[in-house]
Structure 1
Amino acid sequence: MKKDKTKLDKRVKRHRKVRTKIIGAGNRPRISVFRSNRHIFVQLIDDSKGITIVSASDLNYKPVGRKKTNKVEIAREVGKDFAKKTLAKKIKTAVFDRSGYKYHGRVKAVAESLREAGIKI
C-alpha cells in the first residue's frame, strides 16, 4: 500500500528534479531560497566550486518602531539586503532557484526585489 506523501516530500521531489537542470556557474551563480514557517534564507551559490558567495536572512531583521510587518514585506527587505551584498561582489546576473516552492508570496517578493535592485535573473 502506498503511503501518502507529505507536503515536504513533494517539495523536495520538485526541488531535486529542478536541481538537475539548474546549475550555477562562476559567471552566473545560483540564487537559492529557503523558507521556513518563520524565516526566509537566501544564498548565492557557485556550484562549480561548491561555495556560498553571499547569504542573507531575516534572523537579524528588526522592524523600525512598533510597526507590524508581515512575512512578505520582510522577505522583500531581505531581498534588497541580499541584492546590495551581491552587487558589492560585482555579480549582476544569476539563476533563480525557488527550491520547489510556488512562485508566490515570499519567494516572489524576494525575486522582485532582486530585479528592482538591478540583478538580472
Structure 2
Amino acid sequence: MAEKKGAEDRRKARVRRAIRKAANGRPRLSVFRSSKQIYAQVIDDAEGRTLASASTLEKDLKGSLKTGADVEAAKAVGKLVAERASAAGVKQVIFDRSGYIYHGRVKALADAARESGLEF
C-alpha cells in the first residue's frame, strides 16, 4: 500500500519542485538539520552527484565547536561548504532549505555561505 506523506514530506517536495523550476542548471545547496547536528551539500541534479559537503560531524569542526546544534555551528558549516564549493568550481547555487523555515540555524548557514563567496 502507498504510505501517506506527512506534512514535512509534502513541504519538502513542494520546496524542491519550485527549486527545480528556478534552478536554470545551477547546483543546489541543500540543508539538513537534526536536533544535534547540521549538514549541507552542494548537489548537481543534472548529473545526480554531490559536488561539496560539510557537517558538524567532521573532525576539524567537531573539536572547535561547543555543540553541533547552534547558530555558531551552522555558520562554520556554511563557511566550510562555500569554500569547498569554490574549490570545486561552483560560484552560483540555488538554496534548498528542505522545508525548514528560513530562520535561526538555516539562515545562519545561508548567510555564512554568502559571505564566503557563494552567490544565491
Q: Shorter-chain TM-score: which interval?
A: 0.7 to 0.9
User: Larger C-alpha radius of gyration, 1 or 2?
Assistant: 1
Counterpart code for 2:19: I
Q: Deviations over 1:40-99 (max 9, x none)?
A: 1101111111111111100022344xx845611001001111111011112110000000
State the 1:9 CA deviation: 2.6
In the other structure, the counterpart of 1:45 is 43
Instruction: Provide the C-alpha distance between the structure 2 equivalents of 1:116 and 1:68, rounded to a whole number of angstroms.
Output: 22
State the 1:118 CA deviation: 1.5
Counterparts of residues 64-75 of structure 1 (less than 5 Å)? 64=64, 68=66, 71-75=70-74
In the other structure, the counterpart of 1:21 is 18
In the other structure, the counterpart of 1:79 is 78
TM-score, normalised relative to structure 1: 0.83
Instruction: Provide the C-alpha distance between the structure 2 equivalents of 1:63 and 1:87, rounded to a whole number of angstroms.
Output: 24
Counterpart code for 2:32: F
The 3-state SS of whatever aligns with 1:52 is strand
Structure 1 gap segments, 5+ residues each: 1-7
TM-score, normalised relative to structure 2: 0.83
Counterpart code for 1:71: D
Structure 2 gap segments, 5+ residues each: none
Counterparts of residues 98-117 of structure 1 (less than 5 Å)? 98-117=97-116
Conserved? CA contact 1:25–1:46, under 8 Å: no
Larger relative helix fraction: 2
Q: Share of identical aligned residues, percent?
A: 48
Moved over 6 A (4+): none
Counterpart code for 1:39: Q
In the other structure, the counterpart of 2:91 is 92
1:10 and 2:7 equivalent?
yes
